[in-house]
Structure 1
């Protein structure tokens, strides 16, 4: 069991490091809210993190704003709950229509690794701490 937990912790850490590298290259990551942004900053993700809820517009208008800023590619990292899955799908469609590439790799990988245990991005730092504790206790 502890080997499986250790492997999961390594995979999640590796994925977050890869995300940080992509964001530092100038590809913005789009999250739902400010708490998600704070969580990514705690996990050493630097660069442009854009919150959907801050724009106070519908997702189609948000996609248009992203297009206006001149982005050719974005990373979508919505929450793992029902609304997050719906927003990911819708926003991906709107961005595709605006000719902006949506990178869903990080969302899909994280969802596959922690989606049943974690419902939102803001919980990632605490999840990682608790996972390390579980590894240490086993």
Structure 2
């Protein structure tokens, strides 16, 4: 059985992994602007692509035009986010673009499914850290 502390530490490791990938200029696909704010608050600075208002095929065209061969998929964790993720995954993979879904899966795992969206990630982590008694 893992403690909340262990899960928080694992979640922080995932955030560090995301920071490293962003430093390598791998774009992060999110749904909207609030998702970007949340990630930036966590110290993740990189190229963000929002998909909520742009057809997926246009995003794929843009990635190919810019010779981008890999992206990190970070759509929300609710039903709509899962459907979005699948559609994006299918489209991008069919175009030969590598899609990292591992980070998204780890965030879901280490947040015990308590998180519904990326925009809540910063607040979720902040509250967990505040709750730790040293």
Report TM bin, short chain.
over 0.9
Do structure 1's residue 58 and structure 2's residue 55 form an aligned pair? yes
> 5+ residue gaps in structure 1?
none
Q: Distance in 1 between matches of 2:108 and 2:100?
A: 14
Considering only aligned residues, what root-mean-square deviation do their CA atoms show, in Å?
Answer: 1.7
- Distance, in Å, in 2 between the alignment partners of 1:14 and 1:35 is 22
Q: Report the Cα distance in structure 1 between the residues aligned to 2:112 and 2:76, rounded to whole angstroms.
A: 9
Q: Following TM superposition, by how much is the alpha carbon of 1:60 offset from its aligned partner in structure 2, in angstroms? A: 2.1
1:11-31 deviation digits (Å, cap 9, x = unpaired): 111100111001101111111
State how far apart, in whole Å, the 2-side matches of 1:133 and 1:60 are. 42
Could you list the structure 1 runs, at least 4 aligned residues long, displaced by more than 4 angstroms after superposition.
none
Report what 1:9 is aligned to.
Answer: 8
**8 A contact 2:31–2:76 mirrored in 1:** yes
Pairing of 1:17-28 with structure 2 (within 5 A): 17-28=16-27
Which runs of 5 or more residues in structure 2 are unaligned?
none
User: In 2, Cα distance between the equivalents of 1:115 and 1:32?
Assistant: 21
Q: How does 1:1-138 map to 2 (within 5 A)?
A: 4-53=3-52, 56-114=53-111, 116-136=113-133
Deviation at 1:58, TM superposition (A): 1.8
Task: Tell me which moved more, 76-85 or 65-74.
Answer: 65-74
Contact 2:32 2:51 in 1 (8 A): yes
Partner SS for 1:70: coil
SS at match of 1:135: coil
- TM-score for both structures, normalised by structure 2: 0.92
Equivalences, count: 134
The answer to whether the 8 Å contact 1:63/1:95 transfers is yes
